[in-house]
Structure 1
Amino acid sequence: MNKVFASIAVGCALAISGAAYAAGEMGNMEMSGSSAKPAGEKAGMSHGEIRKVDAAAGKLTIKHGPLENLNMEAMTMVFKVKDPAMISQVKVGDKIDFVAEEVDGALTVTKLQKK
């Protein structure tokens, strides 16, 4: 029984010391955002073209390039819109810049700008 407790104690000590070591190693990391995009570039925006507008459902079908923040390749897909007013801003064929995020389990356009 003592061997079991000793094994548990050693395991906990190793886990805690490993976590402390890893945290210490991150203390020297540069966190100033030096890898930020140039001021003229729209951070996080993806490019796309409106293929379908479904105002009743609050959805847009967008042919888009890669969505880096979602690790998605270029494709055509349906998105919900965060703000229903976005629907009235676009029509089929419009070129857009947009941000899509996963909101409550659904891919959702959270920012939208016509080009």
Structure 2
Amino acid sequence: MNDRSTTGGAHEHSGAKNRMSHGEVRKVDAAAGKLTIRHGPLENLGMGPMTMVFKVKDLAMLSQVKVGDSIDFVAEERDGALTMTELRKQ
């Protein structure tokens, strides 16, 4: 029997998906490497909906989006700054 039960694998996969938050790009600041996002709850950070600025892990993320785009993203606290580590344009 396989030790990797369907429940365990599904739970791990859904956990990664559940880290994603939804938002709208309000500003792209390429010079500073930051995005301003109006977002829903950031459950992994215990934050409610608001508009805030995030650093991006990879500057290439900035060229993927423009103001008004709907996105799903993951933000984490890294070195004292909220940093967007994953980004998917909708």
Q: TM-score, normalised by structure 2?
A: 0.83
Could you say which residue in structure 2 is the equivalent of 1:73?
48
Count of residues paired in the alignment: 83
Bigger share in strand: 2
For structure 1, the 5+ residue unaligned runs are: 1-31
Matched, 1:88 2:63: yes
1:34 Cα deviation (Å)? Answer: 8.0
Matched, 1:58 2:33: yes
> Against the structure 1 CA distance between its residues 37 and 49, is the aligned structure 2 distance closer, same or farther, given a 3 Å change threshold?
farther
Sequence identity, in percent?
A: 72
Superposed CA RMSD: 2.2
1:59 is displaced (CA, Å) by 0.3
Specify whether residues 85 and 38 from structure 1 end up closer, same or farther in structure 2 by C-alpha distance, changes over 3 A only. Answer: closer
- Where in structure 2 are there 5+ consecutive unaligned residues? 1-6
How many angstroms does 1:114 deviate by?
0.2
Flag as ranges the 4+ runs of structure 1 deviating above 2 A: 32-39
Q: In 2 relative to 1, CA 38–102 (structure 1 residues): closer, same or farther, beyond 3 Å?
A: closer
CA distance in 2, matches of 1:33, 1:43: 15
Letter in 2 for 1:94: D
**Relative contact order, higher structure (CA 8 A, sep 6+):** 2
SS in 1 for 2:44: helix
Q: State the distance in 2 between where 1:112 and 1:34 align.
A: 23
Asked whether the equivalents of residues 67 and 74 of structure 1 are also in contact (C-alpha less than 8 Å), the reply is yes
Larger proportion of helix: 1
Cα distance in 1 between the residues matched to 2:18 and 2:49: 18
TM-score (norm 1): 0.66
Rg larger in structure: 1
